[in-house]
């Protein structure tokens, strides 16, 4: 990592039905994050639409569609590293939940598809079939920029530690987690999972959840946070729409990895990390 410290921001916004309104507010929050000194800013999962099947279908764009192009332009205009996910429709009609990372000159550093889809049916409580809309991806991408290596886990992916393990093995310093993590499970598991991945794989973890909206059909929990490699929460949001900022000190990351040499002692026991 060439820079000792990177200032990271999460733009925790309310995701509403109108895509144009979501994009307008995301732009304003990215501008405000830059004005607060951010060098990297992360938006929640599918920031253009509520996480509902018909909304996702309606929002899906071709690869390098208008939302992707606008994010690239914003990254360039603001001189920011920008991370977000969008619904992308392939030529074959498949829809992917695609994580995008843009360099401050607007170049797309790469794509990470959501690997794990949330399908559950608990009679009388919850029924979700993400796979009815989204096609899963495979594999883990690590994005490099000026000595910084970033990886992306998209929402449900954070429950499968092998993805973070592979990112760490390939040198990732930062794990970005764009999410619409639900109000049903987030009070118990959101912070726990983010801190666990930070400690287990000795990375900064940036969790960008959508803001809580009591009137929404699908309710995200908010409470975005940035966690350091020792598992300390550097900053956390409340439930509503806001921007949080923290400095990522890579000298601390290096010190944690030296003083607690987990990776050097992990050996070949990949099975310890579970499925994923």
| Residues noted as catalytic | 45, 114, 155
End-to-end CA gap in the chain: 28
Q: How many Cα neighbours within 13 Å face the side chain of 160?
A: 20
Cα angle: 36, vertex 39, 43; to 5 degrees: 85
CA distance 29 to 41: 9
With b meaning 16 or more CB within 10 Å and e meaning fewer, what string describes 184-207?
Answer: eebeebbbebbbbbbbbbbbbbbb
CA distance 164 to 221: 23
């Amino acid at each position: 990592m060439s820079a000792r410290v990177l200032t990271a921001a999460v733009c925790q916004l309310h995701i509403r039905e109108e895509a144009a309104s979501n994009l307008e507010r995301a732009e304003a929050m990215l501008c405000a994050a830059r004005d607060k000194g951010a060098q990297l800013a992360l938006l929640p999962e599918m920031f253009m639409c509520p996480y509902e099947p018909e909304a996702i279908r309606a929002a899906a764009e071709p690869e390098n569609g208008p939302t992707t192009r606008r994010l690239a332009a914003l990254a360039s205009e603001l001189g920011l590293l920008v991370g977000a996910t969008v619904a992308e429709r392939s030529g074959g009609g498949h829809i992917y939940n695609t994580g995008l990372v843009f360099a401050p000159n607007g170049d797309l550093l790469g794509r990470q598809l959501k690997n794990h889809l949330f399908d559950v049916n608990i009679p009388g409580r919850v029924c979700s079939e993400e796979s009815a809309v989204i096609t899963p991806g495979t594999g883990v991408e690590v994005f490099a920029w000026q000595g910084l290596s970033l990886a992306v886990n998209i929402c449900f992916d954070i429950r499968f530690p092998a993805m973070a393990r592979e990112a760490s093995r390939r040198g990732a310093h930062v794990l970005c987690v764009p999410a619409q993590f639900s109000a049903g499970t987030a009070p118990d598991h959101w912070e726990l999972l983010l801190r666990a991945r930070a400690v287990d794989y000795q990375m900064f973890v940036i969790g960008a959840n959508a803001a809580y909206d009591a009137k929404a059909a699908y309710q995200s929990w908010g409470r975005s946070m940035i966690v350091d490699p020792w598992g300390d929460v550097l900053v956390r949001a409340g439930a509503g729409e806001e921007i949080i900022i923290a400095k990522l000190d890579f000298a601390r990351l290096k010190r944690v990895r030296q003083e607690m040499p987990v990776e050097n002692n992990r050996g070949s026991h990949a099975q310890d990390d579970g499925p994923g």
